[in-house]
């Protein structure tokens, strides 16, 4: 299971909407407690492919994000990207390019603009399994 705060979910959603019609992408970092992954920070990266069907993370931004994770004491948990026109499930290309079977792959579907759907997957070879994602309500201070 992986958990994300409502505020981090909204950051991803707003960024993905601002990138339409292209796919948006980024990284996620946080901590692992037992069987749970807790997302503590999301990184918004540039899709250098500028495509609505696939993405590539900007290498310089990716390196800067990893350096920031280390400085913050966070563990890299995986990545996220949007599907502007398809469901929240890994495409064949997503599976083919998923090199880390321990990583979480979050996919935000904007296919129905009124009802975005975010899921997280574990991918190993051509097998993708929904790992269960919880969006936690953000406490108001």
Q: Please determine, for residue 29, whether its predicted confidence score (pLDDT) is greater than 90.
A: yes
pLDDT grade, residue 113 (50/70/90)?
confident
Cα(7)–Cα(4) distance, integer angstroms: 8
Question: E-assigned strands of 8-63?
Answer: 25-33, 36-45
- Provide the H-helix boundaries in 20-125: 59-72, 92-96
Q: For residue 134, what are the β-bridge partners?
A: 3
Q: For residue 71, what are the β-bridge partners?
A: none
Residue carrying structure tokens 């083919």: 96
8-12, 94-98, 105-109: least confidently modelled range: 94-98
pLDDT digits (tens, 9 = 90+) for 31-83: 999 999 999 999 999 999 999 999 999 999 999 999 999 999 999 999 999 99
Mean pLDDT throughout 107-111? 97
What phi and psi, each to the nearest 5 degrees, are found at residue 69?
A: -55, -50
Residue 85: name the closest of 61, 54, 56 by CA.
Answer: 54
Cα(131)–Cα(16) distance, integer angstroms: 22
Question: Model-level pTM?
Answer: 0.94
pLDDT grade, residue 139 (50/70/90)?
low
Mean pLDDT of the chain: 95
Q: In whole angstroms, what separates CA 92 from the centre of its chain? A: 17
């Amino acid at each position: 299971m992986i958990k994300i705060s409502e505020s981090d979910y909204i950051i991803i959603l707003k960024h993905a909407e601002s990138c339409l019609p292209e796919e948006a992408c980024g990284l996620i970092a946080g901590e692992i407690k037992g069987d749970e992954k807790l997302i503590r920070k999301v990184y918004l990266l540039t899709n250098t492919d500028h495509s609505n069907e696939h993405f590539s993370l900007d290498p310089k931004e990716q390196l800067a994000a990893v350096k920031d994770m280390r400085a913050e004491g966070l563990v890299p948990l995986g990545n996220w990207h949007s599907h502007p026109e398809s469901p929240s499930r890994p495409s064949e290309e997503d599976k083919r390019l998923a090199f880390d079977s321990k990583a979480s792959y979050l996919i935000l579907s904007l296919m129905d603009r009124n009802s975005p759907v975010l899921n997280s997957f574990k991918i190993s070879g051509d097998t993708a399994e929904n790992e269960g994602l919880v969006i936690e309500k953000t406490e108001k201070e």
